[in-house]
Amino acid sequence: MCNNKKCKDKKNCSCDKIQLTKGAKGDSGAIGLTGAQGPQGPAAPNSWKLNGNNEGVEQYFGTNDNFDIPIYTNGVKNGVFDKNGNFGFGISTSLTARLHVKGISSTSSDYALKVDNSSNSSLLYVRNDGSVGIGGTSIYSNYKLQLIISSANDGLQIIGGGVGTATLTTDTDGTSGSLKLYNSALGFNAVVFNNNSNSYIITPYNFGFGISSPTAKLHVKGISSTSSDYALKVDNSSNSSLFNVRNDGVILANNLPTSSTGLPSGAIWRNGTVLNIV
């Protein structure tokens, strides 16, 4: 009803009706909770599933263009199958071998490569300081190559490509080791270094030092022809000189006995400036 006093038809009057206008939109409400994850959709044709495939026939994983396949862990590129067919572990660029492994440090406490058998026994390992171990679990001192012998007749054999080549074998001999130089053409050891008796056994074949074609059972070639160098030196256990052959041909026999008493036949003894043979 109209409240205007001047209006005669207050029942049907519209002179004071209010004209309403639409106000601004209010703020949005809070986002509701996320619903449960729906089922996994069907895999795309020829795709590799996260939990494995059932292919029925051989398929391949790889690329058909000129790009590498990187391997990421924890968001970091830690390996690669590069476009040239090289595999890299710990290295992702500039691979220079079919299998290229980069160690985690440069210290002796870490390994770049370890190979174990099915019983977790160490077979081969390469430390990050460059030392290589075959067998065992640690490398003694600062050796660059170490071979651990665990039982009799195990060892290292180096064989040439020709017929009748020599082989080098180290194996256990009871409670101590021996080093053997074996001639395959002759069928037996040419040289044996036996640690049991601290002896060196040389079979009847020529042995040369400093010369490639020895003409005597022991053939030594000196390093010069001067008096300042020696072709042969023999010392006792106290490092006292007993017998020397200089490279100028002079022979020095030191500490010769001064009496023949107790000497065997053929022994040399010194009487003043005169040498005598028993």
Flag whether 114 is in a domain. Answer: no
Higher pLDDT, 13 or 251: 251
- Does 75 reside within a domain? yes
The rounded distance, in Å, linking the Cα atoms of 239 and 245 is 16
- Residue 241, strand partner residues: 235
Does 77 reside within a domain? yes
Q: Contact 138/151 with Cβ under 8 angstroms?
A: no
Q: Which of 52, 79, 102 is the last residue of a domain?
A: 102
85 domain residue, yes or no: yes
User: Among 2-16, 56-70, 180-194, 221-235, where is mean pLDDT lowest?
Assistant: 2-16
Give whole-number Cα distances, 254 to 19, 161, 242, in Å: 136, 47, 5
- Whether the pTM exceeds 0.85: the reply is no
pLDDT at position 15 is 59
Span 149-153, average pLDDT = 61
Going through the chain in order, the beta strands assigned E by DSSP cover 69-73, 76-81, 87-89, 99-101, 111-116, 122-127, 132-134, 145-147, 156-159, 166-173, 176-183, 188-194, 199-202, 207-209, 218-220, 230-235, 241-246, 251-253, 268-271, 274-277
Which are the contacts of 262, defined by CB distance < 8 A and separation ≥ 6? none
Among the residue ranges 110-119, 166-175, 226-235, 237-246, the one predicted with the least confidence is 166-175
Q: How far apart are CA 186 and CA 79, in angstroms?
A: 51
Three-class SS state of 16: coil
- pLDDT (0 to 100) of residue 20: 53
Residue 27 CB neighbour total at 10 angstroms: 5
Query: Is residue 43 situated within a structural domain?
Result: no
How many CA atoms are closer than 13 Å to the CA of 44, on its beta-carbon side? 3
- End position of a domain, from candidates 102, 128, 160: 102
For the chain, the domain total comes to 2
pLDDT digits (tens, 9 = 90+) for 155-208: 666 666 555 566 666 655 444 566 666 666 666 666 666 665 555 555 566 788
Question: Does residue 206 lie within any of the structural domains?
Answer: no
* 70 inside domain: yes
What is the rounded average pLDDT for all residues in the chain? Answer: 79
Q: What is the mean pLDDT of residues 204-230?
A: 85
Cβ neighbour number for residue 182 with a 10 Å cutoff: 19
How far apart (Å, rounded) are the C-alpha atoms in residues 202 and 193? 8
Domain hosting 254: range is 222-278
Strand intervals (E) in 66-165: 69-73, 76-81, 87-89, 99-101, 111-116, 122-127, 132-134, 145-147, 156-159
What per-residue confidence (pLDDT) applies to 151?
62
- Predicted confidence (pLDDT) per residue in 50-102, tens digit: 778 887 888 888 889 999 999 999 999 999 999 999 999 998 888 999 999 99
| Domain-embedded: residue 93 | yes
